[in-house]
């Protein structure tokens, strides 16, 4: 047996076997696609049997057999277009053209004279080649937009079409070739035919093993990512990743997860904006209610109440599997496709596997969230405790002093009613009373900061003028306050709060420079923002404290209550004031050398812009100070 004969036999056996496999599938469950696949391989097998009859048994075929054989041949591209239409969408015009072409070919073949006339031959050839080219190109295009298994299947079919076209081309050219080249051409033709058969088979009806092998990389990638999914920022992000994983693993164009809301017994689907359905609605709802995976190859028919929705979202085939962790029902995972043949029954098991994996991930996320809530509750309790003990501690000192002094005065007044009241004791009561008031105001402000409710009326305000006044008020020989400014910088701010902000920063700069030293305030305009930096040459802030400096009650580890009085609320409130104005407050410091607090505030706010500009112009005319002391 020559190599060509061997290949011929091999190809014939292959096609007969494939025909048997795909026909068995039709018998098991006849669907349109399965019938089309069986028809395609059936026709190919008939052509081969005809070849066997004529070549192996060297029977001279009767004329009707030749005609039948040619007609079957012409049916191949038409059947491929039908299959293409099963897997993707072929314009109706093309389907009609293919049908008409086939009809003309058959009529021409049946009614034409014995040797096929040249014009008809040309038409048949053109019809065959154009159709094959169209099919190959369409499958290549479909493969590009598809993913996973579907992509590989489409690519296999495209390769099959190219190879089949090649085989037919060579077959047609053999009589034109020199005699000694014909054997090689036949060999190539047979090889191409064999490969085309295999490519079509794995494309149209991939055996489960191959399908699994194709799914494996996507599945592996998904499972690889699975461990990190619970740590994504929110459940919506996890749901999206799970949907993507299901799309990739199943080669589906779309997937959607519906999360169950126990309170109103609904499923909330996220894809394309949230949609809420009763927990037994849609195919997904049925899978959720029945707690088993469901395969619907025609969703509009199986769930007519939502037929429009399925049509609108291009969901002809729907596979749905419940997402359930133990007894805990979490939701449902559905994948859709506009074409039925993309999925096989076995995909349902894979989908259930992915849904189970999704359940574990969502469950872990819920546990992480719960742990976070517990931590937040504990933190809130701790903060409240801190707050109470810090507040009680700070209020107690002036209160004790006031009570002790008042009791002293009371005793003296009882014992010596005629003696004049000690003015020093009275002054102490006033000072401590004022300190108490400051502390209470600070506590109230801290509560307002917490609620984001610090600001009142905003008005145009010249920052240069304001810090100039504050600087002048705190200026002393031990702590000279230097203001650097190029001119007025006007923005729309809450005057009292901005004054409180800079008072606080300048007071801190002085308080934390016990050995004295210059305090400088630089005011700059940065286009739409104003920047004010308050710098001192004081004790500085340890690096470890910097990240916590603006937190409530945080005091530097280098300060102690006896030397530096304070509650650690001032900077917390300052940051609140700046942020409520839409700005930022930052600190930089070199421990032991000094600190700089930098405030950035937006200058213009909405409709007050013109007023702001007008005020600035006015202020520019009055304030010419570049450097004030
Ligand atoms: P308080 O001054 O009442 O402690 P603040 O919130 O104003 O509260 O400041 C918090 C902490 O930041 C202070 O305890 C101090 O450790 C540190 N701090 C603030 N300003 C300065 C500064 N200019 N130099 C050094 N440390 C500072």
pLDDT tens-digit series, residues 120-139: 778 888 888 888 889 889 98
Instruction: Please give the structure tokens belonging to residue 618.
Output: 């006015």
* Lowest mean pLDDT segment, chosen from 32-41, 173-182, 612-621: 612-621
| pLDDT for position 585 | 97
CB 365 within 8 A of CB 237: no
Chain position carrying tokens 């459940």: 235
CA angle 455, 457, 459 (to 5 degrees): 115
| pLDDT for position 30 | 85
Burial class (CB in 10 A: 0-12, 13-18, 19+), 1: exposed
CB 482 within 8 A of CB 629: yes
Ligand 1 centroid vs 385 CA: distance in angstroms? 21
For a mutational test of ligand 1's pocket, the pick from 390, 443, 446, 566, i.e. the residue with the most ligand atoms closer than 8 A to its C-beta, is 566
Rounded to an integer, what distance in angstroms lies between the CA atom of residue 576 and that of residue 598? 14
**Residue 565 Cα: closest atom of ligand 1:** 3
Rounded to an integer, what distance in angstroms lies between the CA atom of residue 217 and that of residue 150? 14
Q: Comparing 323 with 298, which gets the higher pLDDT?
A: 323
**Residue 539 Cα: closest atom of ligand 1:** 25
CB 229 within 8 A of CB 257: no
Task: Tell me: pLDDT of 2 over 80.
Answer: no
Specify the residue with its C-alpha closest to ligand 1, atom 20: 508
**Residue 556 Cα: closest atom of ligand 1:** 16
**Residue 572 Cα: closest atom of ligand 1:** 6
- Per-residue pLDDT of 183-218, as tens digits, reads 888 889 889 988 998 998 888 888 888 888 888 888
| pLDDT for position 323 | 95
Q: Is the four-CA dihedral 376, 381, 384, 390 of positive or negative sign? A: negative
Specify the residue with its C-alpha closest to ligand 1, atom 8: 568
Instruction: Please give the structure tokens belonging to residue 499.
Output: 């004054």
Ligand 1 centroid vs 566 CA: distance in angstroms? 8
DSSP string, 193-259: HHHHHHHHHHHHS--HHHHHHHHHHHHHHHHHHHTTGGGSSSHHHHHHHHHHHHHHHHT-SEEEEEE
Ligand 1 centroid vs 505 CA: distance in angstroms? 9
| pLDDT for position 518 | 96
**Residue 536 Cα: closest atom of ligand 1:** 23
For a mutational test of ligand 1's pocket, the pick from 511, 556, 590, i.e. the residue with the most ligand atoms closer than 8 A to its C-beta, is 556
| pLDDT for position 113 | 67
- Per-residue pLDDT of 258-297, as tens digits, reads 999 999 999 998 765 668 899 999 999 999 999 999 999 8
Pairing of the two strands 519-526 and 481-485: parallel
Residues in contact with 344: Cβ distance below 8 Å, sequence separation at least 6, in sequence order: 208, 211
Specify the residue with its C-alpha closest to ligand 1, atom 3: 566
Ligand 1 centroid vs 426 CA: distance in angstroms? 31
**Helix/strand/coil for 84:** helix
Rounded to an integer, what distance in angstroms lies between the CA atom of residue 373 and that of residue 231? 15
| pLDDT for position 68 | 81
User: What is the number of other CB atoms lying within 10 angstroms of the CB of residue 474?
Assistant: 18
Ligand 1 centroid vs 565 CA: distance in angstroms? 10
- Per-residue pLDDT of 443-467, as tens digits, reads 899 989 988 999 999 999 999 999 9
Ligand 1 centroid vs 306 CA: distance in angstroms? 64
Q: Is the four-CA dihedral 469, 474, 477, 483 of positive or negative sign? A: negative
| pLDDT for position 477 | 96
Ligand 1 centroid vs 562 CA: distance in angstroms? 14
* Average pLDDT, integer, range 419-424: 88
DSSP string, 489-556: -EEEE-HHHHHHHHHHHHHHHHHT-TT---EEEEEEEETTEEEEEEE--SS---GGGGGGTTSTT---
Ligand 1 centroid vs 550 CA: distance in angstroms? 9
Task: Tell me: pLDDT of 440 over 50.
Answer: yes
CB 454 within 8 A of CB 445: yes
* Average pLDDT, integer, range 552-556: 88
Tally of CA atoms within 13 A in the half-sphere of 307 that contains its CB:
6
- Per-residue pLDDT of 110-120, as tens digits, reads 886 666 677 77
Q: Comparing 365 with 532, which gets the higher pLDDT?
A: 532
| pLDDT for position 617 | 45
Specify the residue with its C-alpha closest to ligand 1, atom 14: 555
Rounded to an integer, what distance in angstroms lies between the CA atom of residue 204 and that of residue 154? 8
Q: Fill in the DSSP letter of residue 333.
A: E
| pLDDT for position 204 | 82
- 294-296: strand order across its sheet: 275-278, 266-269, 254-261, 328-337, 317-325, 294-296
- Helix, strand and coil content of the chain, in percent to the nearest 5, comes to 65, 15, 25
**Residue 555 Cα: closest atom of ligand 1:** 14
Specify the residue with its C-alpha closest to ligand 1, atom 2: 566
Q: Fill in the DSSP letter of residue 422.
A: -
Rounded to an integer, what distance in angstroms lies between the CA atom of residue 344 and that of residue 536? 74
Q: Is the four-CA dihedral 558, 562, 564, 569 of positive or negative sign? A: positive
- Per-residue pLDDT of 151-161, as tens digits, reads 888 889 889 88
Ligand 1 centroid vs 540 CA: distance in angstroms? 9
pLDDT interval class at 483 (50, 70, 90): very high
Q: Which residues line ligand 1 (CB under 6 A)?
A: 508-509, 512, 536, 538-541, 549, 555-556, 559, 566-572, 595
- Per-residue pLDDT of 47-106, as tens digits, reads 877 777 776 666 676 777 777 888 888 888 899 899 888 888 889 999 999 999 999 888
Rounded to an integer, what distance in angstroms lies between the CA atom of residue 442 and that of residue 398? 15
pLDDT interval class at 622 (50, 70, 90): very low
Query: What share of the chain in percent tops pLDDT 90?
Result: 41
| pLDDT for position 272 | 59
Pairing of the two strands 627-628 and 254-261: unpaired
| pLDDT for position 12 | 83
**Residue 557 Cα: closest atom of ligand 1:** 16
What is the CA 598 to chain-centroid distance, rounded? 36
Rounded to an integer, what distance in angstroms lies between the CA atom of residue 521 and that of residue 484? 6
CB 174 within 8 A of CB 189: yes
CB 106 within 8 A of CB 74: yes
For a mutational test of ligand 1's pocket, the pick from 521, 568, 592, 595, i.e. the residue with the most ligand atoms closer than 8 A to its C-beta, is 568
Ligand 1 centroid vs 158 CA: distance in angstroms? 73
| pLDDT for position 291 | 94
| pLDDT for position 541 | 96
* Lowest mean pLDDT segment, chosen from 255-259, 502-506, 607-611: 607-611
Instruction: Please give the structure tokens belonging to residue 332.
Output: 């449902």
Q: Comparing 498 with 422, which gets the higher pLDDT?
A: 498
């Amino acid at each position: 047996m020559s190599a060509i004969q061997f290949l011929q036999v091999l190809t014939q056996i292959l096609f007969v076997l494939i025909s048997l496999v795909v026909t068995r599938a039709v018998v098991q469950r006849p669907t349109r696609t399965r019938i089309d696949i069986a028809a395609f391989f059936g026709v190919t097998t008939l052509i081969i049997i005809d070849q066997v009859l004529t070549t192996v048994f060297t029977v001279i075929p009767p004329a009707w057999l030749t005609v039948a054989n040619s007609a079957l041949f012409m049916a191949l591209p038409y059947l491929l277009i039908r299959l293409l239409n099963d897997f993707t969408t072929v314009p109706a015009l093309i389907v009609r053209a293919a049908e008409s072409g086939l009809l003309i070919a058959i009529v021409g073949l049946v009614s034409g004279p014995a040797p096929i006339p040249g014009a008809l031959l040309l038409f048949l050839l053109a019809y065959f080649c154009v159709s094959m080219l169209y099919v190959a190109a369409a499958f290549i295009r479909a493969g590009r937009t598809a993913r996973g298994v579907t992509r590989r299947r489409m690519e296999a079919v495209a390769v099959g079409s190219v190879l089949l076209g090649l085989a037919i081309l060579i077959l047609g050219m053999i009589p034109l070739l020199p005699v000694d080249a014909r054997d090689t051409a036949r060999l190539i033709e047979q090889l191409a035919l064999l490969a085309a058969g295999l490519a079509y088979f794995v494309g149209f009806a991939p055996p489960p093993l191959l399908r699994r092998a194709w799914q494996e990389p996507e599945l592996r990638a998904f499972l690889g990512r699975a461990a990190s999914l619970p740590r994504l920022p929110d459940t919506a992000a996890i749901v999206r990743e799970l949907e993507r994983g299901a799309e990739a693993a199943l080669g589906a164009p779309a997937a959607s997860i519906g999360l169950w809301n126990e309170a109103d017994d609904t499923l909330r689907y996220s894809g394309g904006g949230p949609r809420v359905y009763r927990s037994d609605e849609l195919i997904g709802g049925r899978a959720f209610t029945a707690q088993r995976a469901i395969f619907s190859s025609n969703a509009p028919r199986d769930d007519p109440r939502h037929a429009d929705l399925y049509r609108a979202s291009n969901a002809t085939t729907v596979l749905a599997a419940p997402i359930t962790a133990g007894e805990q029902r979490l939701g449902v995972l559905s994948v859709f496709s506009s074409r039925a043949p993309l999925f096989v029954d076995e995909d349902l098991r894979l989908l259930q596997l992915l849904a189970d994996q999704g359940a574990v991930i969502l469950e872990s996320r819920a546990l992480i969230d719960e742990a976070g809530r517990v931590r937040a509750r504990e933190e809130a309790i701790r903060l409240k405790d801190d707050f109470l003990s810090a507040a009680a501690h700070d209020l107690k000192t002036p209160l004790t002093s006031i009570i002790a002094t008042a009791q002293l005065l009371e005793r003296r007044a009882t014992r010596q009613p005629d003696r004049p009241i000690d003015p020093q004791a009275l002054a102490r009561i006033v000072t401590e009373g004022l300190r108490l008031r400051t502390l209470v105001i600070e506590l109230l402000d801290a509560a307002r900061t917490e609620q984001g409710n610090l600001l009142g009326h905003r008005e145009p305000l010249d920052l240069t003028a304001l810090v100039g006044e504050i600087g002048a008020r705190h200026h002393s020989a031990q702590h000279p306050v230097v203001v650097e400014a190029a001119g007025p910088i006007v923005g729309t701010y809450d005057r009292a709060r901005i004054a409180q902000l800079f008072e606080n920063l300048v007071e801190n700069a002085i308080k934390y420079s016990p050995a004295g030293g210059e305090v400088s305030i630089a005011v700059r305009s940065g286009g739409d923002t104003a920047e004010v930096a308050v710098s001192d040459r004081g004790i500085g802030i340890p690096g470890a404290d910097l990240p916590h400096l603006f937190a409530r009650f945080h005091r530097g580890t280098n300060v102690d209550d006896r030397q530096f009085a304070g509650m650690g609320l001032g900077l917390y409130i300052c940051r609140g004031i700046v942020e409520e104005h839409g700005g930022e407050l930052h600190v930089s410091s070199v421990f032991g050398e000094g600190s700089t607090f930098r405030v950035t505030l937006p200058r213009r706010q909405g409709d007050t812009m013109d007023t702001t500009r007008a005020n600035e112009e006015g202020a520019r005319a009055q304030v010419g100070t570049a450097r004030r002391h």
